[in-house]
Chains A and B, each alone.
Chain A
Amino acid sequence: MLDEVLKIIPQVLIGGLIFGSYTGLLAIGFALITQSSKSINIAYGSVAVLGAAITTYMQNFWVGTLTAALLCGPIGLCIGFLVRRSSKLSHDSSYVYPLAISFGFFLIIQEIESNMMAGSTYKPEYPIGGYVDIGIIGLYPTYTILVSALSLMLFVFIWFFLYKTKIGTIIRASFNNSELLSTLGVDVTIPIVLIFFVSTFLSSLAASLTTPIIGLDVERGLNILLWSFLLVFLGGMKNIINTFVGGILLGEAYFISATWLDPRVVEFIIFTVVIGVMVIRQKRVPVEL
């Protein structure tokens, strides 16, 4: 019994790391959008899954992935522009208008997706075959490891971009107080809309790349939104490192419990626990955007 558990543990840990890395990547895009526009983008998961759906329709996986990401980027740009415009226009600082814009896009894209997929589940084969021998746990699919390595690289790239370059500093400053920044003579709209473009591009890329691993159905857009929101809420919005680490921890928790239980039950348990944690946290330390 103990031997079996010791054998399973590294396998589960690495599985959780891999699952958590792309969940974290998706959550980072969500966190950036949320901070830059001070509004939650409800259409986030749907746009990402739209990219994945386009990829499954194309014959060539790699060309499809790039095309989908390039198609979804402008959609994100459009959402960002309208959200920015509506949040500027409202005289009271009402949050309803920006949220309603992304909500409208959410409805449109959801309908397109449900017509494209028609209630079925897709799981294409790995575009890169073969297995890698990792010492402790044995063989592991090459593609999965490549995808998680790519998402780690992208995370490092985003971190470098935000913390070490000048435009990144402007973007981080606009997260804190965009009005003050605009009085200092910095154009805030372009970085904010750019953030929407880049985040949507990355999320669509991540969703397309993980489709052979997780599979694709209509409900996945909502799943991405809920998991991202959960990570952003628990990990904190100001620090993307927290969000990414939170993603990996949650991936571990999900994988460890999914080895012994039905995954759907696990998801239900995680959601319920998180709702409890969120309620308690909100009562003790209220979170504001």
Chain B
Amino acid sequence: MNTKVNPITFSTILMIVVAPLLLPLNLLTLVSAALIFGIFVMSLDIILGFAGLFNFAQIIVFGFGAYTVALLKIWFKIPTWIGLMLSPLVGLVVGLAIGLIASPFTKHYFAVMTLFMGEVIHRVFMYWSGDIGAESGVFIFGTDVHPWAIYYLTLLACLGSYWICRFLMKNSVLGSILKAIRENEIRIKFSGCNIEQYKTLSMGFSGSIAGFAGGLWSALFGVIDIHMFHWIYSAEALALNLVGGLGTLYGPLVIGSFLTFLKFVLNTYLGAGYLILLGLLVIISVAVQRMHSRFFEYTNRWLRSVRRSA
């Protein structure tokens, strides 16, 4: 009987069991926020890790998901639950739209093109945010969801999105074509495959996850501002992907959550310096050429040896 325990499933079960015993409410919020950002980082892994494309516009999708929940609550008095259910759909639409524009580009051009688009959309929202009802886009709305509910929903989302992504990337045509695009784009093009379609599809898929993460973020805090569209968060997520290990899915999720939690701690005690740490980690991890993070390989090996001896 195959009793292989997936590290993600294991840690999620651990957190479900342990969290009520240990965490006070304020720390719970931080842990939830870190996990939500981890989901967002993992959604980028589909594009960066499998298709091999730097997507700097992903934070736009996250912001749209967040604003969906907030604006539906403020304008139409729709409860947060329904907004949360709608946010993946909004993310899907926005992701597909970004994909439609950016999909003809390859490699470096894709990176700078998405940087362009993210910056344009961010500036549009900066200039006209006063017109949608709040100064510089800040909306304060009380959430009607209890933090514990958000916490468990986040854990569920972590597990669900991880398994869906893993299943899709391992078993579907989309996953294999994305890997082929990463390895040799021109060749897969010549073999008669419409790669632009697949790039767009993958961006829509990862966009729906990112949109849901954005919805969770705004449901957790009850406050959103225009800074949510800033490209620096995309850059952060890409860096976390590079540190966590490309194409592993669990690496970005775990490392993303952990380092984001570290960022909250660092911000309270030091004020700054998180991005310097992250940049150094990226440079080191690339310079030493360990893209598939060795750390997790060692952990897996250790787990296996422990199981064998038991």
A278 with B113, Cβ < 8 A, contacts A100-B282, A107-B239, A108-B280 known: yes
The distance in angstroms between the C-alpha atoms of A112 and B120, with both chains bound, is 24
Does any Cβ of B come within 8 Å of A96's Cβ?
Answer: yes
Please determine whether A268 and B113 come into contact, CB atoms closer than 8 angstroms. no
Please determine whether B287 and A82 come into contact, CB atoms closer than 8 angstroms. yes
Q: Closest approach, in angstroms, between the C-beta of A37 and any C-beta of chain B?
A: 11
Does any Cβ of A come within 8 Å of B310's Cβ?
Answer: no
Q: Of A40, A222, A274, which contacts B108 at CB under 8 A?
A: A40
Please determine whether B287 and A279 come into contact, CB atoms closer than 8 angstroms. no
Please determine whether A100 and B105 come into contact, CB atoms closer than 8 angstroms. no
Mask for A40-64, Cβ within 8 A of B = 1, else 0? 1010000000000000000000000
Stretch at the interface among A87-95, A132-140, A167-175, A251-259: A87-95
A106 with B235, Cβ < 8 A, contacts A89-B289, A96-B52, A101-B286 known: yes
Please determine whether B279 and A39 come into contact, CB atoms closer than 8 angstroms. no
Closest residue on chain A to residue B235 by CB atoms: A107
Please determine whether B276 and A111 come into contact, CB atoms closer than 8 angstroms. yes
Give chain A interface residues in 99-125, CB to chain B under 8 Å.
99-101, 103-108, 110-112, 114-115
Please determine whether A110 and B104 come into contact, CB atoms closer than 8 angstroms. no
Does any Cβ of A come within 8 Å of B62's Cβ?
Answer: no
The distance in angstroms between the C-alpha atoms of A274 and B113, with both chains bound, is 10
A39 with B108, Cβ < 8 A, contacts A85-B287, A107-B235, A111-B276 known: yes
Please determine whether B104 and A283 come into contact, CB atoms closer than 8 angstroms. yes
Does any Cβ of B come within 8 Å of A163's Cβ?
Answer: no
**Cβ contacts under 8 Å, A286 to chain B:** 104, 106
Please determine whether A95 and B287 come into contact, CB atoms closer than 8 angstroms. no
A108 with B276, Cβ < 8 A, contacts A103-B282, A271-B120, A279-B104 known: yes
The distance in angstroms between the C-alpha atoms of A82 and B48, with both chains bound, is 21
Does any Cβ of A come within 8 Å of B303's Cβ?
Answer: no
Please determine whether B101 and A105 come into contact, CB atoms closer than 8 angstroms. no
Mask for B247-275, Cβ within 8 A of A = 1, else 0? 00000000000000000000000001111
**Cβ contacts under 8 Å, A85 to chain B:** 287
Q: How many cross-chain pairs have Cβ atoms below 8 Å apart between A and B?
A: 123
Closest residue on chain A to residue B48 by CB atoms: A96
Total B residues in contact with A, Cβ cutoff 8 Å: 45
Does any Cβ of A come within 8 Å of B283's Cβ?
Answer: yes
Q: Of A39, A233, A268, which contacts B124 at CB under 8 A?
A: A268
Give chain B interface residues in 226-242, CB to chain A under 8 Å.
231-232, 235-236, 238-239, 242
Closest residue on chain B to residue A78 by CB atoms: B283
Total A residues in contact with B, Cβ cutoff 8 Å: 48
A104 with B283, Cβ < 8 A, contacts A89-B289, A282-B104 known: yes
**Cβ contacts under 8 Å, B291 to chain A:** 96-97
Does any Cβ of B come within 8 Å of A9's Cβ?
Answer: no
Does any Cβ of A come within 8 Å of B144's Cβ?
Answer: no
Please determine whether B115 and A226 come into contact, CB atoms closer than 8 angstroms. yes
Mask for B282-306, Cβ within 8 A of A = 1, else 0? 1100110101000000000000000
A287 with B235, Cβ < 8 A, contacts A101-B283, A264-B127, A275-B116 known: no
Closest residue on chain B to residue A103 by CB atoms: B282
Q: Of B48, B106, B279, B289, which contacts A108 at CB under 8 A?
A: B279
The distance in angstroms between the C-alpha atoms of A170 and B246, with both chains bound, is 37
Please determine whether A99 and B54 come into contact, CB atoms closer than 8 angstroms. yes
**Cβ contacts under 8 Å, A82 to chain B:** 283, 287
**Cβ contacts under 8 Å, A275 to chain B:** 101, 113, 116-117, 120
Does any Cβ of B come within 8 Å of A289's Cβ?
Answer: yes
Does any Cβ of A come within 8 Å of B195's Cβ?
Answer: no
Mask for B52-71, Cβ within 8 A of A = 1, else 0? 10100000000000000000
**Cβ contacts under 8 Å, B183 to chain A:** 92
Does any Cβ of B come within 8 Å of A67's Cβ?
Answer: no
**Cβ contacts under 8 Å, A97 to chain B:** 286, 289, 291
Mask for B88-129, Cβ within 8 A of A = 1, else 0? 000000000000010011111101110111011001100100
Q: Of A107, A115, A222, A264, which contacts B119 at CB under 8 A?
A: A222
Does any Cβ of B come within 8 Å of A11's Cβ?
Answer: no
Please determine whether B286 and A86 come into contact, CB atoms closer than 8 angstroms. yes
Does any Cβ of B come within 8 Å of A143's Cβ?
Answer: no
The distance in angstroms between the C-alpha atoms of A274 and B101, with both chains bound, is 12
**Cβ contacts under 8 Å, A274 to chain B:** 116
Can you report 7 A-B residue pairs in the complex whose CB atoms are below 8 A from each other? Answer: A90-B289, A104-B286, A264-B123, A265-B127, A275-B116, A282-B104, A286-B104
Please report A residues at the B interface, Cβ cutoff 8 Å: 39-40, 42, 82, 85-86, 89-90, 92, 94-97, 99-101, 103-108, 110-112, 114-115, 222, 225-226, 229, 233, 264-265, 267-268, 271-272, 274-275, 278-279, 282-283, 286-289
Known: A105-B279, A107-B236. 7 other contacts (CB 8 A): A97-B286, A108-B279, A114-B272, A222-B231, A271-B120, A274-B116, A275-B101
